[in-house]
Amino acid sequence: MTRRYFGTDGIRGRVGQEPMTADFVMRLGWAAGKVLSEKAAERQEKGLVVIGKDTRISGYIFEASLEAGLAAAGLDVMLMGPMPTPAVAYMTQAQRATAGIVISASHNPYYDDGVKFFSGDGFKLPDEVELEIEAMIDEPMKMVESRHLGKVTRMEDARGRYIEFCKNSIPFRTSLRGMKIVLDCANGATYHIAPAVFRELGAEVIEMGVSPDGLNINKDCGALHPQNMRAAVLEHRADVGIAFDGDGDRVMMMDANGEVMDGDEILFVIAKSQLVGRSNAGGVVGTLMSNLGLEHALKTQGIPFERANVGDRYVMERLKQLGWHIGGESSGHIIALNQTTTGDGIIAALQVLAWMVDKGLSLAEARMGMSKYPQCMVNVPVPSRINPSDFPAITEAVQAAEAELADRGRVLLRPSGTEPLIRVMVEGQDTALVEELANRIADVVAKTAGQK
């Protein structure tokens, strides 16, 4: 079946426009409830769904809509209020729930929102279940008999339980005493979680982005704008800066000198701390967009590296296939399957800090051993979605560029999944050459597509 609503990370859109309307989300809740209740019935259980949300103002509407739809289908609902996406995944497992739902548009502005699902094991809902839900959405919405309606409760201790879960992701004896940390919570779902986690582990915390008003989530703050915490890091002479996105599944870090550390560099540090010198420990899964410097640095450390398609869903699939546990994206979406079932910004940052403490390193020292290659991206508008490999002229241009880069760089052409664009990416050791080759290929793509 062709997907109508679900993307690689649930359903997302502009608030007030389908699919993100109150009516549609209620029908989505009902459809999900019908599908999930059947699966719960197979286990002779009454289904339970855990719901969390980020801090955007539309969360109130969509929380109520989902609650109504699920209860009408006969499922019990447990509301957690504002909680990070990975917290919902964890609590879904902890409550032995049938599924978990997050109301969030992640790093998008407040005027967007979305709904994403976790299955009972804390992983993203399988494709076949999402397709079953899509097939049910347009069916007539019929409530179960009154005595079978779902009940709704609120989990009062979700915050404390998730804080303890995060703290337990590093060794019990590890303390952050003496460490000064700037935390930017993006006015999002980590605002009341992350400061407590790091303080309870002993760190001195300087807070940013912890005053959500429903409209300021991700606005000029957080993982999308990590440079904005530089002034605080330098002013307070902090050891580390840590920035999360609106739903807490992405993280960026900053060293004491104000240098930003992205997802590729965080992956490198975590891989060094957990995989070097350990036989059969596995390797790292990145994406097609992961910097070539990461691949080369891991190779130097004797750590295998594989690339998956862009998107945490594909990183997760490849990790499971290989039996590895560390993967992620340049954006800061880091997966540590030995700790949790989805990307978790707080837990990823804690893995880095724990290794720094154990080895007596600063963050600048911990990141040593990896040099990012210059990267140039050019977006080329095309009249319709095309496959670049279908055009000999484009293939020849790519091959010529690859020959010029030799083993010191790479070329990637990727059609956008949401817009009529071809993304031309070139990276290598020479900045001027990278930019020249990217623009040269982009010109060929544009001419071939009839734009010039």
Instruction: Report the relative pairing of strands 334-336 and 326-328 from DSSP bridges.
Output: antiparallel
Q: 451: closest CA among 403, 367, 387, 383?
A: 383
416 is catalytic: no
Letter for the amino acid at 117?
F
Distance separating alpha carbons of residues 83 and 313, to the nearest angstrom: 21
**Annotated catalytic residue: which of 58, 104, 106, 331?**
106
d(CA 409, CA 70): 51
Neighbours of 191 (CB within 10 A): 25
Task: Using alpha carbons, select from 187, 385, 373 the residue that is nearest to residue 297.
Answer: 373
- Structure letter (DSSP) for residue 373: P
Closest CA to 415 of 399, 397, 391: 391
Tokens describing residue 35: 């599908």
Where do the DSSP E strands lie in 193-273? Answer: 204-208, 240-244, 251-255, 260-261
Write out the two tokens for 390.
Answer: 């279908």
* CA–CA gap between residue 116 and residue 10 (Å, rounded): 4
Place of tokens 């880091």: 334
Radius of gyration of the chain (CA): 23
Nearest to 281 by CA among 263, 296, 301, 264: 301
Q: Give catalytic residue positions.
A: 106
